[in-house]
Structure 1
Amino acid sequence: MQNSIRLKLKAANAKKWKNGYPLIKKEDVLNSHDLKREGTIFELVDEHQNFIGKGYYGIQNKGIGWILTSQQKEPIDQPFFEKKLKLALNSRKSFFENQDTTAFRVFNGEGDGIGGLTIDYFDGFYVINWYSEGIYRFKDDILQALSVVTDFKGVYEKKRFAAQGSYIEDDDFLLGDKAPAPLIVKENGIKFAIYLNENAMVGVFLDQREVRKAIRDKYSKDKQVLNTFSYTGAFSVAAALGGAAKTTSVDVANRSKSKTIEHFRINGIDFEAQDIIVDDVFQYFKYAVRKNLQFDLVILDPPSYARSKKNTFRAEKDYSDLLEKAITITAKNGVIVASTNASSFGMDKFKGFIQKAFQQTGVKYEVLEEYRLPSDFKTIKEYKEGNYLKVVFLKKLS
């Protein structure tokens, strides 16, 4: 029998968790002070001491723990994790069978039943992301479970639970064989260079797979394309493979240029025919206005929070202003890919930011299509915050 702490919900809150909400915050319970060590198992009860769920104590962003099971007698142990992993892997069977895509998510936190844990697959190698010291306490059980249910080439980890949720620099290799650097993977036939042991970000954001496919297949032919906050140029590569006349990639990070060149090269694209610019995106917008530059396709996918020497960006506060700048340099009948991964607001609010930006510029627009997280990034309806990705394709009409 596992030792556990009883956490008592405040009276007004019980219904939400009885309906399957998985995250616990400090202000939701009466006795959070009883939790001393991350990884402690707790039983959540209502004001009448009725059992609601069992989970673990782990500090992650605004939360202090996740519900893992509604069965009071179910132990949180290696067989528990094995069962969860097996279900998740089976649900991704079609991805494993797709030879054109060899990189995807195989376990997506609370969507697959374990908040605070994600696992990504890169052509036989698995990367585990631990989002709190609490879930990290179960490392041995989870690794053993992964060893049982997969035939992995190698396993890496990313510890994302330092101060303010930052990545803990370390040797990320855990088990099996080490991956080549780079490891070349495919996504809908597009090649990406992945570095599993370099830092927290391995080289491509897997949640944008369907958006990149749309850019390549439907929006790039003969277009002048601007990719802002371009990171390693994944959107630019998709656009170039889709027949773009030219791509311009802009990112403030110095290493973005060499990474983008590498991605162009491995896809057989002449990088010298593209513009790859290391600059603050906000400064580049000013430059583009001065030079009267116009683009047929503008990709706007900033981080939720970004800070440079001259600018600080918070998606919830500043997205409309950023979009206004993008509208200014988008050609008539051009398309803007407005994207955010901010989990603090939903699609309706995001569309409000979009509407505000177009109203401020006096420009009319049409929504062409929308994207949320792809199916391998499984979510649950009880936890809407988990479906964080919001992408809207917008046509500038006037």
Structure 2
Amino acid sequence: MPDLPADLTPTLLRLSARRAQLSTAGTTFYRMVHTTETAGLFALDRAGPVGVLSLYADLSAEQEQRLAAACGETGLESIYLKRRPPEAQHAANVERGRLSPPEPIWGERRPEVVALEDGVPYLIRPSADLSIGLFSDARRARTWVRQHTPPAGRVLNTFAYTCGFGLNAALAGAASVKNLDLSRKVLAWGQENYALSGLNAPDADFLYGDVFEWLRRLGKRGELFELVILDPPSFARSKAGVWRSERNYARLLAQAAAVTAPGGQVLALINHAGVSAAVFERLLGAGAVQAGRAMSFTARFGAGEDYPGAEHLKVRALRLE
């Protein structure tokens, strides 16, 4: 069992102060402390007045309490705990109560809060599951969507989760945004996010079902989009089989290309530390070849500035001719 630093509170205060300017710029949802700054032991996210403490090592109950109390000293009102297993997909289903306790480990109970990102409000549920409604490392990608959505264009947001990308496309003036996910629950959550920004959220814009099946269906209909967003999990099981991003991303890009208008763009994300940027680009290139489309990259980036040294997230914007 690892030891916690003796100067824990001063260290957290110093690290969190480095991100304080985000709050004054209209962002109250961000990573306060990243694992590269804690020797891989823990990370701390801020969601408005609430902190979400992610543990990547086994700590004693006393150590967890001490760490949570130190996090609270940064000005947060409550701290929720997430114990992050190496393989979260299966463990999150069978050990949910232990991995993501529904009650805060420190401070007052705040099961729902509204936090801002670049002035856009999002509904965050710190007590929900290991995933709380938004991924802070994708902030730059959501900003990219806000800045590059074609005016009056059509946007398809696949693996939509709570529809953060779709929301930003709608705010940017897209004529149509379709959000697609395998969970009705998270799509309903996405509609709540739309409502927070005063946007109309008809059920027809929130498509429930398997992404690959929907891509085939949309392709047969001849529907085309000027922007397609791909943000799949790195690993998942479904009725269709096992998805592994390092094996299946080329096929996903090929199917997405079939519904991407000539000259349209695809924003592709992969959250997998074991897949290098070079390998990811080869997968995307292979998918474009399968689709018979010429491809060129228009942007390359990763997680935001509050993720120093992070290499897990790779984001590529590409144009398909």
Q: Same fold (TM over 0.5)?
A: yes
Aligned residue type for 2:218: A
Quick check: 1:103 aligned with 2:34?
no
Cα distance, 1:84 vs. partner?
3.1
1:88 to 15, 22, 30: 15
Q: Quick one: which amino acid aligns to residue 41 of structure 2?
A: G
- Mapping for residues 361-372 of structure 1, pairs under 5 Å: 361-372=291-302
1:154 aligns to what? 78
> 1:139-175: CA deviations, max 9, x gaps?
1331243244x12211111122397573432324122
Which structure would you say has the larger RCO, counting Cα contacts within 8 Å and 6 or more residues apart?
2
Where does residue 349 of structure 1 map in the other structure? 279
Output one character per residue of 1:312-351: Cα deviation in whole Å (capped at 9) or x when no partner.
2101111111111001110001000011101111111111
Q: Deviations over 1:342-368 (max 9, x none)?
A: 111111111111111112222112211
Structure 2: segments with no counterpart, 5+ residues? none
RMSD: 2.0
TM superposition shift of 1:274: 5.6
Aligned counterparts of 1:256 and 1:171: Cα–Cα separation in 2: 18
8 Å CA contact 2:65, 2:106 repeated in 1? no
Q: Which runs of 4+ in 1 moved over 6 A?
A: none
Tell me if the contact between 2:254 and 2:288 (Cα under 8 Å) persists in the aligned partners.
yes
The equivalent of 2:268 in structure 1 is 338
AA paired with 2:148? K
- Change in 2 beyond 3 A, CA 1:77/1:286: closer
Q: Matched residue of 2:187: which SS?
A: helix
Question: Which secondary structure state, in structure 1, belongs to the residue aligned with residue 317 of structure 2?
Answer: strand
Q: Which runs of 5+ in 1 are unaligned?
A: 1-38, 40-55, 57-75, 380-385
Measured in 2, the distance between the counterparts of 1:289 and 1:248 equals: 14
Change (3 A) 1:255 1:220: farther
Distance in 1 between residues matched to 2:254 and 2:308, nearest whole Å: 32
Asked if structure 2 preserves the Cα contact closer than 8 Å seen for 1:78 and 1:142, the reply is no
Q: In structure 1, give the amino acid aligned to 2:34.
A: N
Q: Is the 8 A contact 1:125 1:154 kept in 2?
A: yes
Alpha-carbon shift at residue 79 of structure 1 (Å) = 2.6
- 3-state DSSP class of the match of 1:173? coil
Identify the residue that residue 66 of structure 2 maps to in structure 1: 141
Alpha-carbon separation, structure 2, partners of 1:278 and 1:117: 34
**Paired residue for 1:123?**
48
The 3-state SS of whatever aligns with 1:178 is coil
What is the Cα deviation at residue 220 of structure 1? 3.7
> 2:109 matched to which residue of 1?
178
Q: Does 1:294 align with 2:221?
A: no
Distance 1:77 1:366, change over 3 A: closer
- Of 246-255 and 169-178, more deviation after overlay is shown by 169-178
What is aligned with 2:156? 226
The match for 2:243 is 313
Q: Hey, what's the Cα distance between the residues in 1 that align with 2:132 and 2:197?
A: 18
Distance 1:144 1:190, change over 3 A: closer
Matched, 1:388 2:312: yes
Select the structure of larger CA radius of gyration. 1
Distance 2:143 2:302 in 1: 14
Given candidates 233, 237, 241, the residue that maps to 2:171 is 241
Q: Describe the SS at the equivalent of 2:40.
A: coil
Describe the SS at the equivalent of 1:261. helix
Instruction: Please state whether the residue corresponding to 2:128 is helix, strand or coil.
Output: coil
Q: Percent identity?
A: 25
- TM-score (norm. length: structure 1): 0.75
> CA–CA distance in 2 between the matches of 1:361 and 1:284?
17
Structure-2 residue corresponding to 1:212: 142
C-alpha change, 1:251 and 1:147, in structure 2 (3 Å) is closer
Paired position in structure 1 for 2:201: 271
The offset of 1:135, in angstroms, is 7.7
Contact 1:256 1:278 in 2 (8 A): no
Cα deviation digits, residues 271-303 of structure 1 (max 9, x gap): 128610110001101111211111110000100
Please report how far the alpha carbon of residue 97 of structure 1 lies from its aligned counterpart in structure 2 after TM superposition: 2.8
- Give 1:176's aligned amino acid: G
Provide, for residues 20-68 of structure 1, a one-character-per-residue CA deviation record: whole Å limited to 9, x for no partner. xxxxxxxxxxxxxxxxxxx1xxxxxxxxxxxxxxxx3xxxxxxxxxxxx
Preserved contact between residue 69 and residue 106 of structure 2 (Cα < 8 Å): no
Instruction: Give the Cα–Cα distance (whole angstroms) in 2 for the partners of residues 174 and 135 of structure 1.
Output: 13
Q: Kindly provide the amino acid, as one letter, of the partner of residue 33 in structure 2.
A: F
The answer to whether the Cα contact below 8 Å between 1:252 and 1:278 also exists between their aligned partners in 2 is yes
Q: Determine the C-alpha separation between the residues in 2 that align with 1:117 and 1:304.
A: 21
Question: In structure 1, what residue type is equivalent to 2:318?
Answer: L
Residue in 1 aligned with 2:210? 280
Q: Is the 8 A contact 1:225 1:248 kept in 2?
A: yes
**Could you say which residue in structure 2 is the equivalent of 1:33?**
none
Q: 1:162 to 1:189 in 2, by over 3 A?
A: same
